[in-house]
C-alpha cells in the first residue's frame, strides 16, 4: 500500500484504528519528499524535525481519543503564509531569511486540528506569476511531465499534492493561483469567497484580491480542509462573519435540478481543442447526473485581463513598499551612501524581474495624472464584471468553464513573453475581481498526458454548491484517481 497516496479519510481510519501511527505516516511522507524533490523542487523548506514532533503529539491525542479531523495528517503550506519559527521567504531573496514570530490564522487553525506540517512550498515570487518560474530559488516541475510547468503561483503546492509528498496543501489565489496549478497538476483546488478564509498572516500581494484556499486529491478531502480553515477572524477586517456551514454534509447533495451556466465568452476562439473536448465531456457527464445546462453571458469578462493588470500591480506597488531594507528582510547598507542608495540597492537586488515589472506598472497607474485614467477606470469596470456575474447567477446555480485555455506548457516557453504568460489566466481572473468562489477539478488529459481541469464558479459563499457538483462528478469519473509515473 502506498501510504503517500491515501485519501485523508483512508489515513484517518488507519490512524484511529491504530493500524498506522502518525509518526509512521509522517516518516513515509518525508521519505517521499526525499525521493521526489530532486526532480520536482516543490518545497523550499522541509521541517522534518518539527513534523515528527507534531506526529508524536498526534499519536498521544489519538490514543487518548481526542483526535481532530486532521490529527496526524501531513501537509504543506505555500511559502507566502506565515509560520511561526519557520522561514517564510515568499520565494524572494528579499525575505530569504525571514522567520515570522507568529502563525497565520489559517495555520493556527490547522495546527489546532492536528495537522502535521511537512514544510513550505515553492511558488512564484510574492505570488506573481503563472508558472512558478519566477521563484528566486528555481522552478518547480510538473510531476506528470517534468518538462512542463506546474502552473502558478502555487505551483509547488499543486505539484506536491499530485506527487504524493503532501496529503493536502494550502495556497493562495489572487488571479487563478490555486485553480490554474490545480488544473495543470491534476488535483482539486478551491479559491473560497473573498473573506471566507482569514488573510491574517498571508503576505499581501493585492489585498482586495488575495484569498487562501486548499489543494487536495479529491473533493471530499478538500471539504475536510476547508471546514477547518474557513470562518470569521476578528483580527482580519476583511474576514466575513457569515456562518460556516457543514461542507462535508454538502458532498452528498448531487446535481439533480441544478442549473449550470455555460458562459459563451469562455468557449470562444483561442481555446485549445483538447481542453474544450475534456471540459465539454465533463459538462455532459454532469448533465447526465440531472443538471440542467443554460447559456449565460459575461460580456465584460473580455476586459478582465486589463482590469486585473491595473488593480493587482497598483496594490502590489503599495504593499511591497514595506520591503525597503530598514525594518526586516534583506538590507544592503553601503558604508558610504545615502538612504536612497540603500533603498535602490536593496529593492533592485532583492526583487526579481517580474516583481519589479509589476511594482513599476502599479506605481505608474497610481501616479498623479494617471490615477483616474487607469486605477479609477479599472475599479469602475470591476463593478461591471461583478454585475455580469450577478445577472448570470440569476439564471443558474453555478458556472462551468475551462480553467486555462491550454494544458500546461513547457518550462521556458513563455517566460520571456509576459503578455502570453498573463493570458494563461484569462478564465480565472474575473472570479477574483468579483470576489467569488471557484474550484478546479481534473476532467481529462491531453495527448501528451498533461492534466486538464474543469472550473466551477458560484455566487458568494456558495462553496457548498461547488463541492456538491465536484463530488458528484468525481463519483462518475476517475481522472482524480490517476497518478503520475514519477
| Cα 454 to Cα 285: distance, rounded to the nearest angstrom | 12
- pLDDT value at residue 269: 84
Q: How confident is the model at residue 471 (pLDDT cuts 50, 70, 90)?
A: very high
Q: Set out the domains of the chain in order of their start, with CATH numbers.
A: 3-260+396-481 (3.90.1300.10)
| Range 247-251 average pLDDT | 96
Closest CA to 150 of 407, 457, 485: 407
- Mean pLDDT throughout 410-423? 93
- Its sign, for the CA torsion 31, 32, 38, 44, is negative
Percent of the chain with pLDDT strictly greater than 90: 94
Residue 189 pLDDT greater than 90, yes or no: yes
Q: What pLDDT does residue 355 have?
A: 98
Cell 506536491 found at = 160
The pLDDT of residue 95: 97
Q: Taking residues 44-70, report their average pLDDT.
A: 97
Q: Is the pLDDT score of 149 beyond 80?
A: yes
CA 229 to CA 236: how far, in whole Å?
Answer: 14
What region does 444 belong to: left with phi over 0, alpha with psi -120 to 50, or beta? Answer: left
Q: Average pLDDT of the chain?
A: 96
Nearest alpha carbon to residue 468 among 260, 249, 253: 253
pLDDT (tens digit per residue) in 8-29: 999 999 999 999 999 999 999 9
Mean pLDDT of 99-128: 98
Please determine, for residue 334, whether its predicted confidence score (pLDDT) is greater than 70: no
Would you call 3 helix, strand, or coil by DSSP?
helix
Owner of C-alpha cell 479599472: 378
CA distances in angstroms from 159 to 11, 168, 202, 245, listed in the order given: 20, 11, 21, 29
Q: What is the model's pLDDT at position 1?
A: 64
- The predicted pLDDT at position 333 comes to 78
* Mean pLDDT of all residues in 322-343: 84
Q: What is the reported pLDDT for 335? A: 61
Catalytic residues: 78, 153, 177
% of the chain beyond a pLDDT of 70: 99
pLDDT tier, 337 (very low <50, low <70, confident <90, very high otherwise): confident
* pLDDT computed for residue 243 by the predictor: 97
List beta partners, residue 191. 438
Tell me the mean pLDDT in the region 231-240: 98
User: Under a CB-based contact definition with an 8 Å cutoff, are residues 147 and 131 in contact?
Assistant: no
d(CA 43, CA 117): 12
Mean local confidence (pLDDT), 146-165: 98
Q: Summarize the confidence of residues 404-419 as an average pLDDT.
A: 95
Assess whether pLDDT exceeds 90 at residue 46.
yes
Which range has the worst mean pLDDT, 120-129, 323-332, 421-430? Answer: 323-332
What is the pLDDT, as a whole number, of residue 76? Answer: 98
Return the closest-CA partner of residue 391 out of 329, 291, 269, 301: 301
Q: What is the pLDDT of residue 34?
A: 98
Q: Is residue 336 predicted with pLDDT exceeding 70?
A: no
Give the pLDDT mean for 311-336. Answer: 89
pTM exceeds 0.75: yes
Q: What is the pLDDT of residue 338?
A: 86
d(CA 105, CA 235): 9
**Distance separating the N- and C-terminal Cα atoms of the chain:** 17
Amino acid at each position: 500500500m502506498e501510504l503517500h497516496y491515501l485519501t485523508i479519510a483512508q489515513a484517518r481510519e488507519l490512524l484511529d484504528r491504530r493500524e498506522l501511527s502518525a509518526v509512521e505516516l509522517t516518516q513515509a511522507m518525508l521519505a517521499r519528499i526525499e525521493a521526489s524533490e530532486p526532480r520536482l523542487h516543490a518545497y523550499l523548506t522541509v521541517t522534518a524535525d518539527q513534523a515528527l514532533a507534531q506526529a508524536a503529539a498526534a499519536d498521544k491525542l489519538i490514543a487518548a481519543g481526542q483526535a481532530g479531523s486532521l490529527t496526524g495528517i501531513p501537509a504543506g503550506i505555500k511559502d507566502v503564509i506565515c509560520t511561526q519559527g519557520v522561514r517564510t521567504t515568499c520565494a524572494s531573496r528579499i525575505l530569504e531569511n525571514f522567520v515570522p514570530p507568529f502563525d497565520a490564522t489559517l495555520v493556527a487553525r490547522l495546527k489546532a486540528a492536528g495537522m502535521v506540517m511537512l514544510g513550505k512550498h515553492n511558488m512564484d515570487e510574492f505570488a506573481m506569476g503563472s508558472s512558478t518560474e519566477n521563484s528566486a530559488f528555481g522552478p518547480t516541475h510538473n510531476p506528470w511531465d517534468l518538462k512542463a510547468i506546474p502552473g502558478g503561483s502555487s505551483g509547488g503546492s499543486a505539484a506536491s499534492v499530485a506527487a504524493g509528498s503532501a496529503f493536502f496543501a494550502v495556497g493562495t489565489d489572487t488571479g487563478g493561483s490555486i485553480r490554474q496549478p490545480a488544473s495543470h497538476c491534476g488535483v482539486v483546488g478551491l479559491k473560497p469567497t473573498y473573506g471566507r478564509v482569514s488573510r491574517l498572516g498571508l503576505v499581501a500581494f493585492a489585498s482586495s484580491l488575495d484569498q487562501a484556499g486548499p489543494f487536495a486529491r479529491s473533493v471530499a478531502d478538500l471539504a475536510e480542509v476547508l471546514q477547518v480553515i474557513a470562518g470569521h477572524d476578528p483580527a482580519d477586517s476583511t474576514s466575513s462573519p457569515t456562518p460556516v456551514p457543514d461542507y462535508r454534509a454538502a458532498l452528498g447533495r448531487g446535481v439533480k435540478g441544478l442549473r449550470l451556466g455555460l458562459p459563451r465568452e469562455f468557449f470562444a476562439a483561442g481555446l485549445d481543442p483538447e481542453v474544450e473536448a475534456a471540459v465539454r465531456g465533463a459538462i455532459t457527464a454532469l448533465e447526465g447526473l440531472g443538471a440542467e445546462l443554460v447559456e449565460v453571458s459575461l460580456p465584460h469578462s473580455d476586459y478582465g485581463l486589463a482590469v486585473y493588470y491595473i488593480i493587482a500591480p497598483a496594490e502590489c506597488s503599495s504593499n511591497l513598499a514595506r520591503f525597503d531594507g530598514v525594518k526586516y528582510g534583506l538590507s544592503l547598507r553601503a558604508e558610504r551612501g545615502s538612504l536612497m542608495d540603500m533603498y535602490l540597492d536593496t529593492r533592485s537586488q532583492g526583487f526579481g524581474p517580474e516583481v519589479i515589472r509589476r511594482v513599476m506598472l502599479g506605481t505608474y497607474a497610481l501616479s498623479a495624472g494617471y490615477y483616474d485614467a487607469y486605477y479609477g477606470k479599472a475599479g469602475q469596470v470591476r463593478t461591471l464584471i461583478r454585475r455580469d456575474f450577478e445577472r448570470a447567477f440569476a439564471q443558474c446555480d453555478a458556472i462551468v468553464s475551462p480553467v486555462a485555455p491550454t494544458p500546461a506548457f513547457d518550462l521556458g516557453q513563455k517566460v520571456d513573453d509576459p503578455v502570453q504568460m498573463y493570458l494563461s489566466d484569462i478564465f480565472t481572473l474575473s472570479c477574483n475581481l468579483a470576489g467569488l468562489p471557484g474550484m478546479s477539478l481534473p476532467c481529462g488529459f491531453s495527448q501528451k498526458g498533461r492534466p486538464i481541469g474543469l472550473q466551477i464558479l458560484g455566487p458568494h459563499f456558495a462553496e457548498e454548491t461547488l463541492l456538491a457538483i465536484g463530488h458528484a462528478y468525481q463519483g462518475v469519473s476517475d481522472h482524480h484517481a490517476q497518478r503520475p509515473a514519477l
